[in-house]
Amino acid sequence: MARRDRPVMPTTVSGFPEMLPAQRAVEASMIDALRATFELHGFAGVETRAVEPLEVLLAKGSIDHEVYVLQRLQAEVGGAGAAPEKGALALHYDLTVPFARYVVENAGALAFPFRRYQVQKVWRGERPQEGRYREFTQVDIDVVGSGTLAAHHDVEMTRVMAAALARLPLPPVTVAVNNRRLVEGFHRGLGADDAGVAAVLHAVDKLDKVGEDGPGGVRALLAAGAGYDETRSDATLALASITGDAAAVEAGVRALGVEHPLLDQGLAELLAVLRATHDVAAQTGGRVTVAADASIARGLDYYTGTVYETRMAGFEGIGSICSGGRYDSLASDGRTTYPGVGISLGLTRMLSALLAAGAVTASRAVPSAVLVAVQGEATRDASDAVAAALRGRGIPTEVSPDAARLGKQIRYADRRGIPFVWFPPADGTEAADPGGVQGVHEVKDIRSGDQAVADPATWAPPARDLHQRVSAAQRSDQRTDESGDQQ
Amino acid sequence: MARRDRPVMPTTVSGFPEMLPAQRAVEASMIDALRATFELHGFAGVETRAVEPLEVLLAKGSIDHEVYVLQRLQAEVGGAGAAPEKGALALHYDLTVPFARYVVENAGALAFPFRRYQVQKVWRGERPQEGRYREFTQVDIDVVGSGTLAAHHDVEMTRVMAAALARLPLPPVTVAVNNRRLVEGFHRGLGADDAGVAAVLHAVDKLDKVGEDGPGGVRALLAAGAGYDETRSDATLALASITGDAAAVEAGVRALGVEHPLLDQGLAELLAVLRATHDVAAQTGGRVTVAADASIARGLDYYTGTVYETRMAGFEGIGSICSGGRYDSLASDGRTTYPGVGISLGLTRMLSALLAAGAVTASRAVPSAVLVAVQGEATRDASDAVAAALRGRGIPTEVSPDAARLGKQIRYADRRGIPFVWFPPADGTEAADPGGVQGVHEVKDIRSGDQAVADPATWAPPARDLHQRVSAAQRSDQRTDESGDQQ
């Protein structure tokens, strides 16, 4: 489990976490990497408004989620009670409902299939004592079709999210895939009706909690809810135990001998996803693995085909960081149905666990690679000119706020993690040449103490020092003595 | 004024605008350019939670702003009436108040002077009939000190925002600068007391509306509020008419013959800003100009030194797009005072005007530079392999959703503005080499119709076609016949 001995994000208003600058740099860097991957795959960025009409949120079954209703402070008050007025606005609690509404509203201006990514905060009015976040950032990708959406988009989504996760500095991650049609077809093949299938999904979802046997166990639930005998319960548990790659899944399912057209379709879809992602683990050195897990039942009742859950090694306790699946009807305007397949990454949940464990760090708290020292307020122009020259070549640079002793200016840089301090000439050259950059300049790497003559027009820091770097830190319990490059 | 014959952003819930993907691409590109500039100057990115305790917002004089109070839908209702409970949370209406609170709360973990940028949505419960936005994006930069903050940071902020605006595809922009100390010192020199200074600021602020003369004119207001005679009113109006560069301001102010130490300090601060930014206009080909405007009075009552307003040529009707100034006390925790200087860019206001006028456009609606055609579903793997090869070299690529006639696949690309369509071999090579990229590939520029043999391992689009490009469009009323490269 995650260690909790590192600084967590300040959260003075319960459930509304805020990050210190170095933590926010980690988050921004992850969002940039995700965006870059999504755009490389042709996904367009979309933002929706933070609010939806309350009836839209409630119609989508948000009864599970506490929502925040907005009230204008100076609005006229409509008498006793506080039932929200008709047309009341509430903060969205996910990005799927707003996106579905956006698709219907703008269908005439969009080209289908439409791929979009969306990175936004969402809000849930959870009770504070539960320790859950009330404001957090979600990162969603979806592909939505008009009328139809081919099965190969399930393959595409899996590959895109795997590629995106592979670019993040995370512990090893497993994207587990299952398929509603496979599970439902299997149980149809065993003779279950609609109610039976629902009962089976419900029972299997409890497997971790209640176990197989005993009065409240899964076998008892299967018997009571679906009328399953021991043979069919055995088959159910055997199916739920299937994990692994395409070959393992195909052999495992076929060995159970159940036959149904829906099972065949679901199995084919699952195998297509697994085959198209079999090389992800090898390509990422095991950092991202896509594998089947036929025990996934959560979400099977509202998804219609592929479903996803994602676990992060060492952080299993936080649950799935990245979940989603296929909807036959993401949205509908009465005439046209919009099927979709999408995945949602819970960025705040993932990131806060990583930060709390010290499992990811930024190389410094500010973007600056260089602090230009000021030899005296009279020659601040000269320091500004050096900074302008460096920035002109893309080197993030700030100028010392005051002409203190150079030791103090170096400490200023050190406190921020700025690796280089630049010393313009102190000989008064600049006084005769205000704004100029002539004279002997020197630059010091304050980590090593190395100092050398440098030219503002040509010097550059090593590439690894140019920008804030975000990286998976060695966990403190895994740290070795030779980790000498950790500042 | 801006033309209104172009598509505006959809806004089905009044005051909550949403953007189509190509519009959002423009916004995201502007935010990326702003972030890059701020980080190049050493500004750290910060986000604050969307809510503040209501009493924090009200304590900061937000009585001018309608705020949205949050109410949990399933919260217990506290009887009749709807007065917000103590500890109620409300959505922030700007980024300054939350940042001030963040600074005090995290002072021990921040290094001062602390530079930050912040890009977030803010909310105001404006009445819908005013046509104002209730949700919009602000882009703020501030530098904040602990105890003190040197005057050269006013120079720095002006330069940073000018550099940031210069990177955006905007019509010509003028950052107008004034200084509270200059104006207050001038009127102290004329003999005004505290109440007189306040009355003068109030009167000059109305100059545009009420004019100089007549019963409700500025001269009458100056006489009534500050006891000014004709000579002092003449001087007031003469001061307010001063605009231009450092030389013009220095000569203009000194010619009025008023003397006061505060005037000297304010003038020196203003001249420092103007001198440090005199070359911005030349460097940007006149696209960004920094100039004094001593008539700026708005904000002088809460800022303490430098103040900013920014106008965009052709869009003067939307008012200042970018405003700010110096606070002697941005925040205080009782023991320490945190002075600051900052500027806030009203991104949504600026962008919605530009989009409505067709003054800025994205080169295409999706990130994809290439659509890889699919010759048949049996060879989709081959198309996927081409896409992977192109993406591996950073080329945004998508694969055709179906194996329709090639003409239909080309139209699919055309509708999205994707400039290139890639044709893998149709001869069945891939059937024998699934996932391979051998055989004769061709790529077509669907704008020109040019088609050529290409290698997935080496071909790249021209740099101008690699990513969505956002650019200032020629206004339709300025368009010339030879603008042939506009699709």
Residue B130 to residue B128: CA distance in whole angstroms: 5
**Shortest CA distance to A187 belongs to which of A117, A145, A236, A224?**
A236
ipTM of the complex: 0.91
Q: Contacts of residue B72 in chain A, CB cutoff 8 Å?
A: 66-69, 125
Q: Which of A315-324, B2-11, B439-448 has the lowest mean pLDDT?
A: B2-11
Distance from CA of B65 to the nearest CA of A (A): 10
C-alpha count within 13 angstroms, C-beta hemisphere, residue B62:
28
On chain A, the residues whose CB falls within 8 A of the CB of B125 are: 70, 72-75
- Choose between A65 and A436: higher pLDDT: A65
Q: What is the pLDDT of residues A378-389, one digit of tens each?
A: 999 999 999 999
Residue B299's pLDDT band, with cuts at 50, 70 and 90, is confident
CB distance A398–B28 less than 8 Å?
no
pLDDT digits (tens, 9 = 90+) for B213-258: 999 999 999 999 999 999 999 999 999 999 999 999 999 999 999 9
Give the pLDDT score at A4. Answer: 32
Contacting residues of B for A49, CB less than 8 Å apart: 13, 16-18, 135
Q: What is the pLDDT of residues A103-129, one digit of tens each?
A: 999 999 999 999 999 999 999 987 766
Asked whether the beta carbons of residue B45 and residue A69 sit closer than 8 angstroms, the reply is: no
Average pLDDT, whole number, for chain A? 89
State pLDDT tens for residues B51-81.
Answer: 999 888 887 654 556 899 998 876 544 443 4
Which of B21, B45, B71 comes nearest A68 by C-beta? B71
Residues of B in contact with A368 (CB under 8 A): 42
Is the pLDDT assigned to residue B135 strictly greater than 70?
A: yes
> How buried is A14 (Cβ within 10 angstroms: 0-12 exposed, 13-18 middle, 19+ buried)?
middle
pLDDT above 70: residue B307: yes
Question: Does position A392 have pLDDT exceeding 90, yes or no?
Answer: yes
- What residues of B are in contact with residue A44 (Cβ under 8 Å)? 21, 24-25, 365-367
Peptide bond into B401 cis (omega under 30): no
- A246 in Cβ contact with A274 (< 8 Å): yes
Chain-chain contact of A398 with B41 (C-beta, under 8 angstroms): yes
Cβ-Cβ pairs closer than 8 A, A with B, add up to 217
Asked if the Cβ–Cβ distance from B105 to A13 is below 8 Å, we say no
Asked whether the predicted pLDDT for residue B6 surpasses 80, the reply is: no
What distance in Å separates the CA atoms of residue A135 and residue B128, rounded to the nearest whole number? 26
Query: Rounded to a whole number, what is the distance in Å from the CA of B126 to chain A's nearest CA?
Result: 9
Between CA A138 and CA A144, with CA A143 as vertex, the angle to 5 degrees is 115
Q: What is the mean pLDDT of residues B477-484?
A: 38
Q: Do A49 and B19 touch (CB under 8 A)?
A: no
Q: Which of B26, B62, B73, B415 to mutate to test the interface with A (most CBs of A within 10 A)?
A: B73
pLDDT number for residue A390 = 98
For A323-337, give one letter per residue: b (16+ CB within 10 A) or e. Answer: bbbbbeebbeeeeeb
Contact A73 B82 (CB under 8 A): no
pLDDT at residue B131 greater than cutoff 80? no
pLDDT at residue number B76: 46
Minimum distance, in Å, between the CA of residue B204 and any CA atom of chain A? 31
**Mutation to test the A interface, candidates B68, B134, B415, most A Cβ within 10 Å:** B68
- Let me know: does A338 contact A106? Beta carbons within 8 Å: no
B341 against B66, higher pLDDT: B341
Query: Best residue in A6, A12, A55, A71 to probe B by mutation, most B CBs within 10 Å?
Result: A71
Closest by CA to B421, choosing from B450, B463, B392, B464, is: B450
B314 compared with A435, residue with greater pLDDT: B314
Give pTM, 2 decimals.
0.92
**Over residues A276-292, mean pLDDT:** 94
